[in-house]
Structure formats: structure tokens, C-alpha cells
Amino acid sequence: MQVQNAYNIAGLINVLFILLITTGALWAFKKSVMKATGEIQAHTSNLQNNAIAALEQELGVVRNKISDIERENKKLDQIILTLCDAMKKRGLDISIDGNTVTVKDGNQTSTVRITGV
């Protein structure tokens, strides 16, 4: 009977040992998954921040280019107006309406459409 009790106790110890090992393995697995998740989230956040910074920098460059183009357009508009006024003083009337340029030289009038724009 004592041998039987010893086998029963050994069996219970085995079951407890297996439960402890299983619990420890599950705990270790959960901890490693949590750590990996945290690292992935940190890496993803870093990538997003880098992407946002790059896009903000690109946006600044685009805004500067737009500003430069707007200044250039104003300059070109002023040059065109100056040329039209100078030509008018010499008897050549030039008017620009959208994509149409009209030139009046005394009795003659010529109209040309701007193409390729």
C-alpha cells in the first residue's frame, strides 16, 4: 500500500510539475509577444514621424517654388504691360485677352491664338 501511495504522490508531483512548466512557458511566450509588439509599435511610430518630417520638408520646398513662380509671373506680367505700352506709343496697339493676342497697326488688325499652353 505504501508503494501505491508513493506512485500516487509521484504522479501528483509529475502533474504539478507539468502544470508549472506549461504555465511558465505560456508566461514567457506572452512576455516575448508583448515585447515584440512594443518594439514593432515603436519602430512604426519612428517611421511615421520620419515620413511626416520628410513630407513637411517637401511641402516647404513646394511652397517656396510656388512663391518663386508667383513672383516670376508678376514680373512677366509687368514686362508684358511695359512692352504693350511702349508699342502703343509707336502706333502699334497690342491687347491680350486670355489665349488671344490682337495687334492693331493703323488700319490693319491681326488676331492670333496662343497655342501649346
| H helical segments located in 1-117 | 2-89
Distance CA(93)–CA(105), nearest Å, equals 7
Helix (H, G, I), strand (E, B) or coil at 116: coil
Mean pLDDT of the chain: 92
Q: Is the pLDDT of residue 9 over 70?
A: yes
Question: Which of the four pLDDT bands, split at 50, 70 and 90, describes residue 8?
Answer: confident
Length of the chain: 117
Question: Which of the four pLDDT bands, split at 50, 70 and 90, describes residue 117?
Answer: low
What is the tens place of the pLDDT at every residue in 74-93?
Answer: 999 999 999 999 998 988 99
Q: Is the pLDDT of residue 1 over 70?
A: no
Asked if 104 and 90 touch (Cβ cutoff 8 Å), the reply is no
Q: How far is CA 89 from CA 35, 86, 101, in A?
A: 81, 5, 18
The whole-number average pLDDT for the span 90-98 is 88
Q: Is the pLDDT of residue 24 over 70?
A: yes
Distance CA(93)–CA(88), nearest Å, equals 5
Question: Which of the four pLDDT bands, split at 50, 70 and 90, describes residue 50?
Answer: very high
Query: What are the beta bridge partners of residue 74?
Result: none
Residue 115 dihedral angles phi and psi, to the nearest 5° = -120, 160
Residues 6+ apart with CB under 8 A from 99: 113, 114, 115, 117
